[in-house]
């Protein structure tokens, strides 16, 4: 892992992040566009935080995405936190409406994926605003949606005759492993 500081913000770049960059550059097209649109998503969160005078303490780039840590967000009012959490998906929805074809679908997918009510994602953070961060209901809903998503991926793989399941399993396994090792 490479770590450094820039204007009092800790920056971490993990092996998983470099792996994802390498794979994306080799596969080109949609993978590279996805990384660009993910960057817009995260920059939108950072811009919303800056508008409210909150700055990140750490930004970690790893195989499963980007994690922005800032204790200041939790000190914001509920409407301001709502704005910070929605800014990323909203930027993807705006891009989905403004662009066409594959770029539009990538942005729509990113927005919907990030709005899933799973604790790690923006949707989970939004749900925590209303249920409480330590709520048992939040944990149950988060686990339920994670299990449902896994079941849908499995069902889609079965329906498609297992086509692509090998690469999907390797990709999912790598993301989970980097979340454990880098997370």
42 CA to centre of own chain = 8
Whole-number Cα distances in Å, 166 to 15, 145, 177, 179? 22, 23, 16, 20
> pLDDT tens digits, the chain, 183 residues: what are they?
889 998 889 999 888 788 777 776 666 667 778 888 988 999 999 999 999 999 999 998 877 678 888 888 999 999 999 999 999 999 999 999 999 998 999 899 889 988 989 888 899 999 999 999 888 999 899 888 888 877 777 777 777 666 555 555 555 555 555 555 554
Are 9 and 54 a contacting pair, CB within 8 Å?
A: no
pTM: 0.80
Give the integer Cα–Cα distance in Å for 30 and 37: 10
Give the integer Cα–Cα distance in Å for 71 and 56: 8
For 136-151, what is each residue's pLDDT tens digit? 999 899 888 888 877 7
């Amino acid at each position: 892992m490479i770590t450094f500081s820039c204007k009092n913000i800790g920056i971490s770049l993990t092996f998983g992040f470099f792996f994802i960059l390498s794979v994306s550059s080799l596969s080109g097209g949609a993978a590279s566009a996805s990384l660009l649109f993910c960057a817009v998503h995260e920059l939108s969160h950072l811009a919303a935080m800056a508008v409210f005078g909150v700055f990140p303490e750490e930004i970690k780039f790893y195989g499963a995405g980007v994690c922005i840590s800032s204790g200041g967000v939790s000190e914001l009012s509920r409407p301001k936190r709502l704005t910070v959490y929605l800014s990323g998906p909203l930027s993807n929805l705006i891009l989905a409406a403004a662009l066409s074809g594959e770029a539009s679908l990538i942005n729509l997918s990113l927005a919907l994926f990030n709005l899933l009510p799973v604790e790690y994602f923006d949707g989970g953070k939004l749900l925590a605003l209303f249920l409480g961060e330590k709520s048992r209901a939040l944990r149950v809903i988060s686990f339920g949606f994670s299990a449902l998503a896994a079941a849908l991926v499995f069902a889609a793989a079965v329906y498609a005759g297992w086509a692509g399941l090998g690469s999907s399993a390797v990709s999912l396994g790598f993301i989970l492993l980097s979340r454990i090792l880098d997370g």
